């Protein structure tokens, strides 16, 4: 098997394998502008429809062994701090109900594995984020994951641990499962609790929804932008793959985090 994933993507629209070309540079510039303007960059039709259909079948197989994540968490995905009052954003529980496919449950021959392991994708994302050094995560579970959301499942309000998250919409539900976010509500300085509190109470005016079609690659500033996924409606399962990259090599999650999200440790 070739180590190229070029056959999986629309390389005419997204020439990420041609680093340094004029079309590549224009694509990088567009993505940077989108991230700066709206905290998100959408690349619709990034993978071909043929590749997407194949990925759906591969995830269907892997999802049979997905780990059920039924977590109550705060928006910061951190331990509750009893020093704050019960109604404080750091102690307001958010309910998340989804199933998680880990990296080691995805076969090396699967399309998602091939795409994640493909150097041009890593280089492209690093260029968009202006990273001189960027690495795939070394965690055997968390490096590449798929969030599986069936009817009634959701993802509560939260911030991501990574500055920018890279995801691929593999399959969208018939209804629901909307990605909603409040851009840039976590300031670089200060706590921003007042805005977070308004989001949680439904009184914040700038809540946006990303209209994400299946096959879309998404770059999202999830560390500063609070976001949730509304409950899925209908029989079609929502599949979203997450490609995890880090600023330094050989990064793994702690055994405690591995156990929490994947039900086992490395």
- CATH number assigned to the domain comprising residue 155: 2.60.120.620
- Do 141 and 266 contact (CB within 8 A), yes or no? yes
Burial of 106: CB neighbours in 10 Å, binned 0-12, 13-18, 19+? buried
- Do 127 and 28 contact (CB within 8 A), yes or no? yes
238 beta partners: 149
DSSP for residue 214: T
Reported pTM: 0.95
In this structure, is residue 109 part of a structural domain? yes
The pLDDT of 139-162, averaged and rounded, is: 95
CA distance 175 to 160: 24
CA distance 178 to 251: 31
Percent of the chain with pLDDT over 90: 83
In this structure, is residue 227 part of a structural domain? yes
Domain count, the chain: 1
In this structure, is residue 48 part of a structural domain? yes
Q: What is the pLDDT of residues 210-265, one digit of tens each?
A: 999 999 999 999 999 999 999 999 999 999 999 999 999 999 988 888 887 888 99
In this structure, is residue 17 part of a structural domain? yes
What's residue 259's pLDDT?
86
What's residue 81's pLDDT?
82
Domain that holds residue 198: 6-262
- Do 181 and 239 contact (CB within 8 A), yes or no? no
In this structure, is residue 93 part of a structural domain? yes
What's residue 1's pLDDT?
39
For 109, list phi and psi in degrees, rounded to 5.
-85, -10
In this structure, is residue 1 part of a structural domain? no
CA distance 49 to 10: 9
In this structure, is residue 32 part of a structural domain? yes
DSSP for residue 231: P
In this structure, is residue 125 part of a structural domain? yes
The pLDDT of 18-45, averaged and rounded, is: 97
What's residue 27's pLDDT?
98
- Do 31 and 219 contact (CB within 8 A), yes or no? yes
What's residue 257's pLDDT?
80
């Amino acid at each position: 098997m070739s180590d190229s994933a070029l056959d999986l993507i629309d390389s005419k629209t997204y020439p990420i394998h041609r680093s340094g070309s004029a079309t590549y540079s224009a694509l990088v510039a567009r993505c940077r502008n989108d991230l700066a303007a709206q905290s998100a960059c959408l690349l619709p039709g990034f993978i071909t429809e043929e590749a997407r259909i194949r990925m759906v079948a591969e995830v269907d197989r892997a999802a049979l062994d997905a780990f059920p994540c039924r977590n109550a968490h705060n928006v910061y995905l951190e331990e509750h701090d009893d020093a704050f009052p019960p109604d404080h954003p750091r102690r307001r529980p958010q309910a998340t109900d989804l199933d998680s496919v880990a990296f080691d449950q995805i076969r090396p021959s699967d399309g998602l594995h091939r795409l994640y392991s493909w150097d041009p994708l890593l280089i492209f994302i690093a260029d968009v984020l202006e990273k001189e050094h960027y690495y795939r995560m070394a965690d055997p579970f968390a490096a590449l994951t798929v969030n599986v959301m069936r009817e009634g499942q959701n993802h509560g309000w939260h911030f991501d641990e990574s500055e920018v998250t890279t995801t691929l919409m593999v399959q969208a539900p018939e209804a629901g499962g909307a990605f909603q976010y409040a851009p840039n509500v976590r300031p670089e300085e200060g706590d921003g609790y007042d805005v977070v509190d308004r989001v949680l109470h439904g009184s914040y005016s700038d809540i946006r929804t990303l209209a994400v079609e299946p096959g879309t690659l998404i770059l999202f500033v999830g560390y500063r932008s609070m976001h949730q996924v509304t409950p899925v409606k209908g029989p079609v399962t929502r599949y979203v793959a997450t490609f995890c990259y880090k600023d330094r090599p050989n990064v793994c999650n702690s055994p405690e985090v591995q156990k929490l999200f994947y039900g086992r440790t490395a």
